[in-house]
Amino acid sequence: MKSQVLKFNNIIETIYSLPLEDKVEIKTLLEHNIAEARRDEIELNFRKSKAEHKSGKLKFSSRIDELKKML
């Protein structure tokens, strides 16, 4: 774990020492990477929900008392 922290700190120090243009490029790349990862996560959750619905494990209700019981 300590080794990972040191590597992370080294990466951060390296990024901070870069010219502004390079920092902006890294920021853009990270934002795109994060957005893609989030889309993948949403898709996975959708597929899991779809499978649960198909297998009958997913329940729906508009009644508050039933929803509370489901939790």
pLDDT 10s digits, 33-44: 999 999 999 999
Inside any domain, residue 12? no
Domain span holding position 57: 19-70
Tokens 């499978």, residue located: 51
Question: Exposed/middle/buried for 37, CB within 10 Å: 0-12, 13-18, 19+?
Answer: exposed
Inside any domain, residue 6? no
Tell whether pTM > 0.75.
no
Bigger pLDDT: 63 vs 28: 28
Confidence class for position 24, pLDDT limits 50, 70, 90: very high
Q: How far apart are CA 34 and CA 27, in angstroms?
A: 10
Confidence class for position 61, pLDDT limits 50, 70, 90: confident
Task: Give the count of domains, the chain.
Answer: 1
Question: In this structure, what is the dihedral angle of CA atoms 11, 13, 19, 22, given to the nearest 10 degrees?
Answer: 20
Asked if residues 49 and 58 have their Cβ atoms less than 8 Å apart, the reply is yes
